[in-house]
Protein backbone atom coordinates (compact mmCIF):
# COMPACT_ATOMS: atom_id res chain seq x y z
CA UNK A 1 0.00 0.00 0.00
CA UNK A 2 1.24 3.51 -0.82
CA UNK A 3 0.91 5.75 2.25
CA UNK A 4 1.61 9.46 2.73
CA UNK A 5 1.87 10.94 6.22
CA UNK A 6 1.13 14.66 6.59
CA UNK A 7 2.83 16.82 9.21
CA UNK A 8 2.55 20.58 9.59
CA UNK A 9 6.18 21.62 10.19
CA UNK A 10 9.52 19.83 9.90
CA UNK A 11 11.33 19.96 13.25
CA UNK A 12 12.57 17.51 15.88
CA UNK A 13 9.45 17.39 18.07
CA UNK A 14 7.10 14.77 19.53
CA UNK A 15 4.48 14.47 16.77
CA UNK A 16 7.24 14.15 14.19
CA UNK A 17 8.91 11.39 16.21
CA UNK A 18 5.64 9.47 16.18
CA UNK A 19 5.27 9.69 12.40
CA UNK A 20 8.91 8.56 12.09
CA UNK A 21 8.07 5.41 14.07
CA UNK A 22 4.85 4.77 12.17
CA UNK A 23 6.61 5.22 8.84
CA UNK A 24 9.49 2.96 9.75
CA UNK A 25 7.18 0.29 11.15
CA UNK A 26 4.85 0.26 8.14
CA UNK A 27 7.78 0.19 5.71
CA UNK A 28 9.03 -2.84 7.62
CA UNK A 29 5.65 -4.47 6.91
CA UNK A 30 6.05 -3.96 3.16
CA UNK A 31 4.26 -0.63 2.65
CA UNK A 32 5.63 2.36 0.73
CA UNK A 33 5.54 5.31 3.15
CA UNK A 34 6.64 8.91 2.76
CA UNK A 35 6.10 11.89 5.08
CA UNK A 36 5.34 15.32 3.65
CA UNK A 37 5.74 18.43 5.77
CA UNK A 38 3.70 21.48 4.88
CA UNK A 39 6.84 23.54 5.47
CA UNK A 40 10.46 23.19 6.57
CA UNK A 41 11.04 24.80 9.97
CA UNK A 42 14.50 23.41 10.88
CA UNK A 43 17.04 21.14 9.20
CA UNK A 44 15.90 18.11 11.24
CA UNK A 45 14.59 16.24 8.17
CA UNK A 46 16.89 17.52 5.43
CA UNK A 47 18.77 14.20 5.25
CA UNK A 48 15.73 11.94 5.66
CA UNK A 49 15.29 9.93 2.43
CA UNK A 50 11.58 9.43 3.19
CA UNK A 51 10.74 13.11 3.84
CA UNK A 52 9.38 15.76 1.46
CA UNK A 53 8.40 19.41 1.90
CA UNK A 54 5.40 21.14 0.35
CA UNK A 55 7.26 24.43 0.99
CA UNK A 56 10.95 24.84 1.77
CA UNK A 57 10.34 28.00 3.82
CA UNK A 58 7.89 28.87 6.58
CA UNK A 59 4.72 30.46 5.12
CA UNK A 60 3.93 34.01 6.19
CA UNK A 61 0.43 35.43 6.38
CA UNK A 62 -2.72 34.15 4.74
CA UNK A 63 -1.12 34.13 1.31
CA UNK A 64 1.70 31.91 2.52
CA UNK A 65 -0.74 29.54 4.20
CA UNK A 66 -2.72 29.19 0.99
CA UNK A 67 0.48 28.50 -0.95
CA UNK A 68 1.28 25.68 1.49
CA UNK A 69 -2.20 24.18 1.09
CA UNK A 70 -2.10 24.27 -2.73
CA UNK A 71 1.44 22.87 -2.71
CA UNK A 72 0.24 20.00 -0.51
CA UNK A 73 -2.70 19.31 -2.83
CA UNK A 74 -0.34 19.27 -5.81
CA UNK A 75 1.99 16.89 -3.99
CA UNK A 76 -0.86 14.49 -3.22
CA UNK A 77 -2.11 14.52 -6.79
CA UNK A 78 1.39 13.59 -8.00
CA UNK A 79 1.88 10.86 -5.39
CA UNK A 80 -1.65 9.38 -5.62
CA UNK A 81 -1.47 7.56 -2.25
CA UNK A 82 -3.81 4.75 -1.24
CA UNK A 83 -3.88 6.07 2.34
CA UNK A 84 -3.16 9.32 4.18
CA UNK A 85 -2.27 9.50 7.87
CA UNK A 86 -2.29 13.06 9.17
CA UNK A 87 -0.99 14.64 12.39
CA UNK A 88 -1.70 17.85 14.35
CA UNK A 89 -4.74 20.10 13.92
CA UNK A 90 -3.84 21.80 10.66
CA UNK A 91 -2.21 18.66 9.28
CA UNK A 92 -5.51 16.84 9.84
CA UNK A 93 -7.59 19.46 8.08
CA UNK A 94 -5.37 20.02 5.05
CA UNK A 95 -4.02 16.48 4.87
CA UNK A 96 -7.56 15.09 4.75
CA UNK A 97 -8.63 17.66 2.15
CA UNK A 98 -5.60 16.96 -0.06
CA UNK A 99 -6.00 13.21 0.38
CA UNK A 100 -9.64 13.32 -0.65
CA UNK A 101 -8.84 15.39 -3.75
CA UNK A 102 -6.09 12.91 -4.68
CA UNK A 103 -8.49 9.96 -4.40
CA UNK A 104 -6.96 8.28 -1.32
CA UNK A 105 -9.15 5.38 -0.14
CA UNK A 106 -8.12 5.46 3.53
CA UNK A 107 -7.88 8.63 5.64
CA UNK A 108 -6.72 8.56 9.26
CA UNK A 109 -6.36 11.66 11.47
CA UNK A 110 -4.37 11.93 14.70
CA UNK A 111 -5.70 14.10 17.52
CA UNK A 112 -2.79 15.93 19.13
CA UNK A 113 -4.75 17.42 22.00
CA UNK A 114 -8.00 18.73 23.35
CA UNK A 115 -10.14 20.73 20.91
CA UNK A 116 -9.15 24.40 20.78
CA UNK A 117 -11.69 27.05 21.75
CA UNK A 118 -9.94 30.29 20.75
CA UNK A 119 -8.24 31.79 17.73
CA UNK A 120 -7.34 30.16 14.42
CA UNK A 121 -6.71 26.75 16.06
CA UNK A 122 -10.36 26.76 17.19
CA UNK A 123 -11.37 27.01 13.53
CA UNK A 124 -9.19 23.97 12.76
CA UNK A 125 -10.88 22.08 15.62
CA UNK A 126 -14.29 23.04 14.25
CA UNK A 127 -13.41 21.75 10.77
CA UNK A 128 -12.00 18.55 12.29
CA UNK A 129 -15.26 18.07 14.18
CA UNK A 130 -17.23 18.40 10.94
CA UNK A 131 -14.94 16.02 9.05
CA UNK A 132 -15.12 13.37 11.75
CA UNK A 133 -18.88 13.68 12.15
CA UNK A 134 -19.52 13.51 8.41
CA UNK A 135 -17.09 10.63 7.89
CA UNK A 136 -14.71 12.51 5.59
CA UNK A 137 -11.96 10.48 7.27
CA UNK A 138 -12.50 6.93 8.50
CA UNK A 139 -10.69 7.02 11.84
CA UNK A 140 -9.52 9.56 14.40
CA UNK A 141 -6.65 8.43 16.64
CA UNK A 142 -6.25 9.42 20.29
CA UNK A 143 -3.01 8.60 22.10
CA UNK A 144 -4.23 8.23 25.70
CA UNK A 145 -7.37 7.74 27.74
CA UNK A 146 -7.09 11.39 28.83
CA UNK A 147 -7.10 12.61 25.22
CA UNK A 148 -10.03 10.37 24.37
CA UNK A 149 -12.07 11.92 27.21
CA UNK A 150 -11.63 15.39 25.69
CA UNK A 151 -14.06 14.38 22.93
CA UNK A 152 -16.76 13.00 25.23
CA UNK A 153 -19.20 15.79 24.30
CA UNK A 154 -18.70 15.44 20.55
CA UNK A 155 -21.49 13.95 18.39
CA UNK A 156 -21.81 10.17 18.51
CA UNK A 157 -20.99 9.95 14.78
CA UNK A 158 -17.60 11.52 15.53
CA UNK A 159 -16.91 9.37 18.59
CA UNK A 160 -17.66 6.17 16.64
CA UNK A 161 -14.57 6.89 14.58
CA UNK A 162 -12.27 7.37 17.58
CA UNK A 163 -9.64 4.70 18.11
CA UNK A 164 -7.05 4.76 20.86
CA UNK A 165 -3.47 3.91 19.88
CA UNK A 166 -0.86 4.76 22.50
CA UNK A 167 2.34 6.25 21.12
CA UNK A 168 5.31 4.01 20.60
CA UNK A 169 8.54 4.93 22.37
CA UNK A 170 11.95 3.67 21.30
CA UNK A 171 14.22 2.37 24.06
CA UNK A 172 17.94 3.22 23.78
CA UNK A 173 19.49 1.33 20.86
CA UNK A 174 22.62 0.63 22.92
CA UNK A 175 24.11 1.38 26.36
CA UNK A 176 25.72 4.82 26.62
CA UNK A 177 28.51 5.76 28.99
CA UNK A 178 27.51 8.75 31.13
CA UNK A 179 30.89 10.46 31.10
CA UNK A 180 31.36 10.01 27.34
CA UNK A 181 27.86 11.36 26.79
CA UNK A 182 28.61 14.43 28.88
CA UNK A 183 31.83 14.98 26.98
CA UNK A 184 29.98 14.68 23.65
CA UNK A 185 27.55 17.46 24.59
CA UNK A 186 30.09 19.61 26.44
CA UNK A 187 28.46 19.11 29.85
CA UNK A 188 30.15 19.18 33.29
CA UNK A 189 31.80 15.85 34.02
CA UNK A 190 31.32 15.48 37.79
CA UNK A 191 28.41 17.67 38.92
CA UNK A 192 24.90 16.31 39.58
CA UNK A 193 23.08 16.90 36.29
CA UNK A 194 19.36 17.31 35.64
CA UNK A 195 18.37 16.96 31.98
CA UNK A 196 15.20 17.96 30.16
CA UNK A 197 14.01 18.18 26.56
CA UNK A 198 11.30 19.71 24.41
CA UNK A 199 10.42 22.80 22.42
CA UNK A 200 11.38 26.02 24.19
CA UNK A 201 7.85 27.41 24.43
CA UNK A 202 5.92 28.78 27.44
CA UNK A 203 3.72 25.68 27.96
CA UNK A 204 6.79 23.49 28.56
CA UNK A 205 7.62 25.60 31.64
CA UNK A 206 11.41 25.40 31.40
CA UNK A 207 11.47 28.62 33.42
CA UNK A 208 10.18 26.62 36.40
CA UNK A 209 13.17 24.30 36.11
CA UNK A 210 15.56 27.26 35.90
CA UNK A 211 14.00 28.71 39.06
CA UNK A 212 14.31 25.31 40.75
CA UNK A 213 17.97 25.24 39.73
CA UNK A 214 18.53 28.37 41.81
CA UNK A 215 17.42 26.34 44.86
CA UNK A 216 19.77 23.43 44.14
CA UNK A 217 23.37 24.50 44.82
CA UNK A 218 26.06 22.66 42.84
CA UNK A 219 23.45 21.03 40.55
CA UNK A 220 23.47 21.71 36.80
CA UNK A 221 20.61 21.70 34.25
CA UNK A 222 20.96 20.74 30.56
CA UNK A 223 18.08 21.36 28.14
CA UNK A 224 17.78 19.85 24.66
CA UNK A 225 15.49 21.86 22.42
CA UNK A 226 15.01 24.99 20.37
CA UNK A 227 12.33 27.64 20.30
CA UNK A 228 11.33 31.24 21.03
CA UNK A 229 11.98 31.03 24.79
CA UNK A 230 15.74 30.46 24.39
CA UNK A 231 16.85 34.03 25.11
CA UNK A 232 14.24 34.47 27.86
CA UNK A 233 15.56 31.44 29.71
CA UNK A 234 19.14 32.69 29.46
CA UNK A 235 18.07 36.09 30.79
CA UNK A 236 16.25 34.45 33.72
CA UNK A 237 19.27 32.29 34.52
CA UNK A 238 21.48 35.39 34.49
CA UNK A 239 19.07 37.21 36.79
CA UNK A 240 19.03 34.28 39.24
CA UNK A 241 22.79 33.86 39.15
CA UNK A 242 22.72 30.33 37.67
CA UNK A 243 23.80 31.05 34.10
CA UNK A 244 26.99 29.07 34.64
CA UNK A 245 24.93 26.02 35.67
CA UNK A 246 22.43 26.14 32.79
CA UNK A 247 23.43 24.32 29.59
CA UNK A 248 21.14 24.73 26.55
CA UNK A 249 22.44 22.25 23.97
CA UNK A 250 20.06 23.19 21.16
CA UNK A 251 17.93 20.88 19.04
CA UNK A 252 19.05 17.26 19.42
CA UNK A 253 18.30 14.90 16.56
CA UNK A 254 16.34 11.69 17.27
CA UNK A 255 19.42 9.60 16.52
CA UNK A 256 21.31 11.12 19.47
CA UNK A 257 18.55 11.91 22.00
CA UNK A 258 19.26 8.76 24.04
CA UNK A 259 22.91 9.70 24.28
CA UNK A 260 21.85 13.09 25.66
CA UNK A 261 19.54 11.45 28.20
CA UNK A 262 22.37 9.14 29.30
CA UNK A 263 24.33 12.19 30.45
CA UNK A 264 21.84 12.98 33.23
CA UNK A 265 21.25 11.79 36.78
CA UNK A 266 17.59 12.90 36.79
CA UNK A 267 15.11 13.94 34.11
CA UNK A 268 12.79 16.85 34.94
CA UNK A 269 9.69 17.79 32.94
CA UNK A 270 7.74 20.91 33.80
CA UNK A 271 5.22 20.92 30.96
CA UNK A 272 1.60 21.77 31.76
CA UNK A 273 0.09 20.97 28.34
CA UNK A 274 0.45 17.37 27.15
CA UNK A 275 -1.69 14.68 25.53
CA UNK A 276 0.86 11.91 26.07
CA UNK A 277 4.27 13.35 26.94
CA UNK A 278 6.51 11.50 24.51
CA UNK A 279 9.70 13.19 25.72
CA UNK A 280 9.18 12.27 29.38
CA UNK A 281 8.14 8.68 28.59
CA UNK A 282 11.24 8.39 26.40
CA UNK A 283 13.37 9.44 29.37
CA UNK A 284 11.63 6.96 31.68
CA UNK A 285 12.04 4.08 29.22
CA UNK A 286 15.75 4.91 28.97
CA UNK A 287 16.02 4.29 32.72
CA UNK A 288 16.34 7.88 33.97
CA UNK A 289 14.57 8.72 37.25
CA UNK A 290 11.82 11.20 36.37
CA UNK A 291 10.39 14.22 38.18
CA UNK A 292 7.43 15.76 36.35
CA UNK A 293 4.28 17.83 36.72
CA UNK A 294 1.25 16.20 38.29
CA UNK A 295 -0.94 16.16 35.18
CA UNK A 296 -3.61 13.45 34.88
CA UNK A 297 -2.28 12.38 31.50
CA UNK A 298 1.28 12.04 32.83
CA UNK A 299 0.06 10.03 35.80
CA UNK A 300 -1.68 7.76 33.29
CA UNK A 301 1.18 7.17 30.87
CA UNK A 302 3.91 6.98 33.54
CA UNK A 303 2.21 4.18 35.46
CA UNK A 304 3.11 0.59 34.59
CA UNK A 305 0.60 -2.17 33.88
CA UNK A 306 1.15 -3.29 37.48
CA UNK A 307 0.23 0.12 38.88
CA UNK A 308 3.78 1.27 39.73
CA UNK A 309 4.62 4.96 39.27
CA UNK A 310 7.64 5.61 37.07
CA UNK A 311 7.97 9.24 38.21
CA UNK A 312 7.81 11.56 41.18
CA UNK A 313 4.86 13.88 40.51
CA UNK A 314 4.87 17.47 41.76
CA UNK A 315 2.42 20.41 41.50
CA UNK A 316 2.80 22.22 38.17
CA UNK A 317 4.49 25.61 38.04
CA UNK A 318 6.03 25.22 41.54
CA UNK A 319 9.84 25.71 41.53
CA UNK A 320 10.16 24.89 45.23
CA UNK A 321 8.34 21.57 44.77
CA UNK A 322 10.55 20.70 41.81
CA UNK A 323 13.71 21.56 43.73
CA UNK A 324 12.61 19.47 46.71
CA UNK A 325 11.69 16.46 44.54
CA UNK A 326 14.87 16.64 42.45
CA UNK A 327 16.98 16.94 45.58
CA UNK A 328 15.22 13.93 47.11
CA UNK A 329 15.86 11.79 44.01
CA UNK A 330 19.49 12.87 43.75
CA UNK A 331 20.04 11.99 47.40
CA UNK A 332 18.29 8.60 47.51
CA UNK A 333 19.88 5.71 45.58
CA UNK A 334 17.00 3.35 46.42
CA UNK A 335 14.43 5.78 45.02
CA UNK A 336 16.51 6.25 41.86
CA UNK A 337 16.70 2.50 41.32
CA UNK A 338 12.94 2.12 41.89
CA UNK A 339 12.08 4.85 39.38
CA UNK A 340 14.59 3.54 36.85
CA UNK A 341 13.20 -0.01 37.01
CA UNK A 342 9.60 1.22 36.70
CA UNK A 343 10.53 3.38 33.71
CA UNK A 344 12.23 0.54 31.88
CA UNK A 345 9.14 -1.60 32.49
CA UNK A 346 7.14 0.83 30.33
CA UNK A 347 9.07 -0.25 27.22
CA UNK A 348 6.71 -3.12 26.48
CA UNK A 349 3.58 -0.99 26.99
CA UNK A 350 4.82 1.51 24.43
CA UNK A 351 6.60 -0.78 21.98
CA UNK A 352 6.63 0.88 18.53
CA UNK A 353 5.84 -2.50 16.93
CA UNK A 354 2.58 -2.66 18.88
CA UNK A 355 1.63 0.85 17.75
CA UNK A 356 2.40 0.09 14.08
CA UNK A 357 0.43 -3.14 14.20
CA UNK A 358 -2.66 -1.20 15.30
CA UNK A 359 -2.26 1.26 12.42
CA UNK A 360 -1.93 -1.58 9.94
CA UNK A 361 -5.07 -3.22 11.36
CA UNK A 362 -7.00 0.00 10.66
CA UNK A 363 -5.61 0.24 7.13
CA UNK A 364 -6.70 -3.33 6.43
pLDDT at 119 over 90: no
The answer to whether the CB of 52 falls within 8 A of the CB of 69 is: no
What does the pLDDT look like over 101-113, one tens digit per residue? 999 999 999 997 7
Is it the case that residue 96 has pLDDT exceeding 90? yes
What distance in Å separates the CA atoms of residue 108 and residue 96, rounded to the nearest whole number? 8
Q: What is the DSSP string of 105-139?
A: SEEEEE--SSPP-SHHHHHHHHHHHHHHHHTSSSE
Flag whether pLDDT at 150 surpasses 90. yes
What are the Cα distances from residue 42, in Å, to 10, 116, 208, 227? 6, 26, 26, 11
Residues 39-56: tens digit of each pLDDT: 999 888 999 999 999 999
Whole-number pLDDT of residue 62: 84
Predicted pLDDT of residue 13: 82
Inter-axis angle of helices 89-101 and 119-134, to 10 degrees? 50
Average pLDDT, the chain: 95
Which whole number is the average pLDDT over 130-151? 94
Q: State yes or no: pLDDT of 353 exceeds 90.
A: yes
Is 90 exceeded by the pLDDT of residue 355?
yes
Q: State the Cα–Cα distance between residues 235 and 206, nearest whole angstrom.
A: 13
Find the mean pLDDT for residues 200-210: 96
Q: Residues of 255-291 as b/e, b for ≥16 C-beta within 10 angstroms?
A: eebbbbbbbbbbbbbbbeebbbbbbbbbbbbbbbbbb
DSSP state string for 240-309: HT-GGGEEEEE---GGGHHHHHHT-SEEEE--S--SS-HHHHHHHHTT--EEEE--HHHHHHTB-TTS-B
CA distance 238 to 177: 31
Compute the average pLDDT of residues 181-208.
96
Classify residue 25 as left (phi > 0), alpha (psi -120 to 50) or beta.
alpha
| Residue ranges of domains in the chain, CATH in brackets | 2-165 (3.40.50.2000), 178-349 (3.40.50.2000)
pLDDT of 21 > 90? The answer is: yes
Backbone torsions φ then ψ of 107, nearest 5 degrees:
-130, 120
Q: Are 55 and 68 in contact (CB under 8 A)?
A: yes
CA distance 334 to 216: 20
Mean per-residue pLDDT for 68-96? 95
Q: Residue 121's pLDDT is what?
A: 84
DSSP state of 171: P
pLDDT at residue number 116: 84
pLDDT higher than 90, residue 14: no
Axis crossing angle, helix 333-344 with helix 319-330, rounded to the nearest 10: 100
By CB atoms closer than 10 A (0-12, 13-18, 19+), residue 346 is buried
Q: What is the pLDDT of residues 80-89, one digit of tens each?
A: 999 999 998 8
Read off the pLDDT of residues 251-289 as tens digits, 9 standing for 90 and up. 998 889 999 999 999 999 999 989 899 999 999 999 999
166: confidence class by pLDDT, cuts 50, 70, 90: very high
Whether the Cβ atoms of residue 293 and residue 203 lie closer than 8 Å to each other:
no
Amino acid sequence: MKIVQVQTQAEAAGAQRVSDMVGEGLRGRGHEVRTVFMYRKTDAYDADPHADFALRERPRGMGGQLRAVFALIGYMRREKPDAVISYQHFGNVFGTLAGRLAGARFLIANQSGAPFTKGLPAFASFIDKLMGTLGIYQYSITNSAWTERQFAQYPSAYRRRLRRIDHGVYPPPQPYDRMKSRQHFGLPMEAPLVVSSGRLVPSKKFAVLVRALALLPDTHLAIAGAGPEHDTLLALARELGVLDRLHPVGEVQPATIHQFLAAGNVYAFGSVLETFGLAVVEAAVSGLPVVCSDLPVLQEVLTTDRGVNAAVFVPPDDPEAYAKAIGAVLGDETLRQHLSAAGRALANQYAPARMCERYEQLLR
